[in-house]
Amino acid sequence: MRQKIGSETNGSINLGDLKSGANGDISQKVEDWYEGLPAGRQALVRGIAGRLDGRPDTIIHYKLDKQIKYRWNMTIGGEVGINKRLQFRAEVGFLGRKQLIAGFNYRFGLFPAWKDDTPGKKPDITPLRSQTQADSTSKVLQ
């Protein structure tokens, strides 16, 4: 089975809005990162940060092209009729993506049952009746 999702995301975010994240304060993480840099790189980062000081909030524009990691995978499945009204269906996907789809199907019987269509026989679309109904109808017609 092959899947293709054409999903492109465009947006922008104000750098000032990133002060805290789900895992704590981002500014603390930036400071920890900065302290871990060698002295030469710290000077470079200080120079860049000095140029940005005093400017209005920086806006980061982004564009993402999201794709499925594995476009193809193998699926195998089947359906089993448990009785006249209840069926079970399952499908398993593998080779790259793993998935399982399962379900039950119940037929409520809202429509009458139809006579059997055997091959070569012209289908009869007359609804089935019980034997006693058929006998009493034929007696009335005679």
The helix or strand, by DSSP H or E, that contains position 136, with its residue range, turns out to be helix 131-141
Going by pLDDT thresholds of 50, 70 and 90, the confidence category of residue 138 is: very low
Going by pLDDT thresholds of 50, 70 and 90, the confidence category of residue 124 is: low
* Helical ranges in 36-113 per DSSP H: 39-52
User: pLDDT (tens digit, 9 = 90+) per residue, 100-117?
Assistant: 999 999 988 776 655 555
SS3 73: coil
Going by pLDDT thresholds of 50, 70 and 90, the confidence category of residue 118 is: low
The fraction of the chain above a pLDDT of 70, given in percent, is: 67
User: pLDDT (tens digit, 9 = 90+) per residue, 48-83?
Assistant: 888 877 777 778 888 888 877 777 888 999 999 999
SS3 21: strand
Alpha-carbon distance of 46 to 50, in angstroms, equals: 6
Tokens of 117: 């269509």
Mean pLDDT (the chain, rounded): 76
The arithmetic mean of pLDDT across residues 41-52, rounded, is: 87
Q: What is the pTM of this model?
A: 0.35
The fraction of the chain above a pLDDT of 90, given in percent, is: 23
